[in-house]
Amino acid sequence: MQRPETLKWYNFAQMDMDAATTLNAHMYPRPLEIICYHAEQCTEKVLKGFLVENGILPPKTHDLPLLCDKCIEIAPSP
């Protein structure tokens, strides 16, 4: 069972993914910088949700390699 805080992170991540997908599918020319921004935000929120689910307060950072390292400490393989 997932913690309510985890679901909040995952729901926000899904909104970012939906935004990136919609922009990619419906805008021309494609706003690649904005699409990539939402994809990065989605990834960040999924990683932070994983940390929260495992009882770790996520750091206030946008550093994806750092967040990945923290997740790997919990689960070295997918």
What is residue 76's predicted lDDT score, i.e. its pLDDT? 84
Does residue 39 belong to any structural domain of this protein?
yes
Residues in the chain: 78
What is residue 72's predicted lDDT score, i.e. its pLDDT? 96
What is residue 78's predicted lDDT score, i.e. its pLDDT? 62
Confidence (pTM): 0.91
With a cut of 80, say whether residue 7 has pLDDT above it. yes
Convert the pLDDT of each residue in 36-64 to its tens digit. 999 999 999 999 999 999 999 999 999 99
Question: CA nearest 64: which of 45, 36, 38?
Answer: 45
Does residue 36 belong to any structural domain of this protein?
yes
Does residue 28 belong to any structural domain of this protein?
yes
Does residue 77 belong to any structural domain of this protein?
no
Q: Which domain holds residue 47?
A: 4-72
